[in-house]
Every structure is written in structure tokens, then in C-alpha cells.
Structure 1
Amino acid sequence: MRKLQLSIGPKLCYHGFTIEAMQTVIARKKRGPAPTGKGELIGVRIHPKLWSALDEARHECSEEELPSRPEMIRRILHSWLIENSFMSSPDEVLARLKMRSDEALLSARNVESRIRASSFLDADGVEDAVKTLYRDGGRCGGSDWPSDASSEEIAIQLAAETALNRAFDEMWERDSELARRIDWPRADPEDFLD
């Protein structure tokens, strides 16, 4: 916490000394997590009956995973959108993904073992190189965009690729073996757009 000194009254002068009344104000920390900047903020009034039902649903979750009210609203909305076919479920997206052939997976694992044996990279560099191998399929940068793509087309493609990379990272954290089996370069990035 940071303390600030604020002058709250008139200054008094007496034989060359300045005296002023001071008050100590403690600056409060902002509540909640830092904003991510993703998504649009929507202010919604919710009546007490709905709040109590929402809190009841929150407390159905495990103690260690108790979601905040906004997170619970996001989860409920996400479930409703999937149930009513406005969004694909993660399982549907996973079912559409192509898996690497056994041959391609064996080849990638051989390259991974050579990367891990390399003395040129530190531990973080090795992990990044391995993830890049499976996410990009060994491609070394560049893009498949036509040279005459408009800025709007490029923005859409960038958003889709960013969503695909985020999905890969989340999958790698949850189940790195499954992330290795998925043929990410053949995945449709638009499947991962929010």
C-alpha cells in the first residue's frame, strides 16, 4: 500500500516557519485480477433472486475451484451457447482435428529427441523448440497468405492463428501427448476462434 500526504487546511506562518495541517491517506489497491484486455466489458443488473441462484450454482463447484461470479456467468453462457448450437463444444472441435500418422509421429519424436540432446539450447529453449516442432510441423516461419491479401483478411488470419496457438498451448499444458498426436498444421484455425 502506498501512503500519500495531502494538505487539508490553510498554511499558517509563524516567525518564518510554515505550518500546515496534514492528513495521511492510504491509496487502496484495485480489486480483482488485472484486466486481460480481451473481450468486451458488459454491465448487467442482476436481481437478488438471480444472484442467489448464481451463488448456489457457484458453491456446487469444488472448494479449490470456486469461480467468481463473472467466471460463473461466463461458464453458464458458454454451456448454453454450446447446448443451443451457437458454438462448437471442445469435444466437437477435437473430433474434427486430424491426428498425425504413426509415421509422422515417429519422425517428430526422433527430431524431438535430437532437440533435447542438443547442447546449444538451455531448458527453456529446448521446450520452446519442441513445442514449435509439434505446433508448426517443422515449418520455419512464413505464412500461407496470398501476397494481395487485404488488411482485413490479414487481421482475420492473425486472429485465427493466435487462437490456434492458444489452443495448442492449453492442450500442451493439459495433455502434451495428445498435443503431440494432433496434426496442428492441418487444423482449421477458425475452429478455435472465440
Structure 2
Amino acid sequence: MTLSLPRAAQADDFVTLPSGIKVLTIREGEGATPQPGDTVEVHWAGFTKGYQGKVIDHRLQSYPERRAHRIDNTSVRDEPYEFKLGSGQAIKAFEIAVSNMKAGGIVRVEVPGELPDLAYPLDRSQRFTGELISQDLKIYKYRYGPQPAELGGQRALDFVLDNTTLRPFNRTLLFDIKLLAVRKQR
């Protein structure tokens, strides 16, 4: 299952939540809505939206002339991301988006760069645990998920977060999220 929108999303298709993140519901789920303490399993694809002023397009093969910067896509590897809702394991924007979904639902989430506390920390000492995931590639473990699985994804994300010459709007992140399962806390 590859996450993709059926058509290009327009700005007014998104709903802005009180937190400031913007959510576009692609498909309503019919399953359980997760509560704090529940373990959720999601597929996600992440993109940098304003990387060097270039808008990201998730349809990489359809628009080869556009330079897209995908962070990761778990559905390609069939390796869902799992976390406990409300535990602080995931960035706040991810927690907020998933807590408003039902199992089986798919959303696109825009995390404005002007709201850095909802995304990954800009301070590298707060972003990483110091633990190496890959000694050969020097891939460090992120303190908050979701974690890009490949070096290219981590480098694209780190470039956007670390670049002090970028304006906040250039740090906007996009996530496509499919809520696969909700396991109620015991």
C-alpha cells in the first residue's frame, strides 16, 4: 500500500486545528479512535515542503521535473511505525493528528515551520539520543519519532532543521499518515 492523494490538495481543503497543524482527511476510518495510553500502528510518508523554496510533490514518478525530498515512507518497506499515544515517543504534531483519526483513516498533515515545538527539535542535542542506529552510515537515533529509516531521509530532514539561513516557512513538514491499528491500553 503506497500512501498518495487521489488529486492535488488545495490549501482550502485543509482544516487548521487549534494547535496550528493543518489536516486534510483523505479517507475517514471506521475503526477505533485512539486514546492516550493506547498503542497505535501507522504507515507514514514524510516530506520537507519548502526545502530551498521547492515545493514537495509526493507523486515522484509523475513529476520527475520537480525535485521532491521525501524523508521516509514506511508503506514501501511494510514496516509500520508503532508508538504509545501520549507518551512523548512521537513528535507532538504526529500525536495530535493520530488522536483525531479512526483506524483505517488516512490524513495528510502539514506542520508549519513557524510552530517548531510541534515538530522535531531544532537543537541537535535535543533531537538525538546519541545512540547510533548504524555505525557504518552514522545514523543516529532520534529522541522523538517517526525516525527516517535511511540516511538520505535523515540528511534531508536534518538539513532543513539545521539550516539557520532558512526562514520558518521553509521548515514546513508534510506527513501522510494511515492509522493501521489501535491497541487499547490494559
Q: TM-score range by the shorter chain?
A: under 0.3
Superposition TM-score, scaled by structure 2 size: 0.23
**Larger relative strand fraction:** 2
**Larger relative helix fraction:** 1
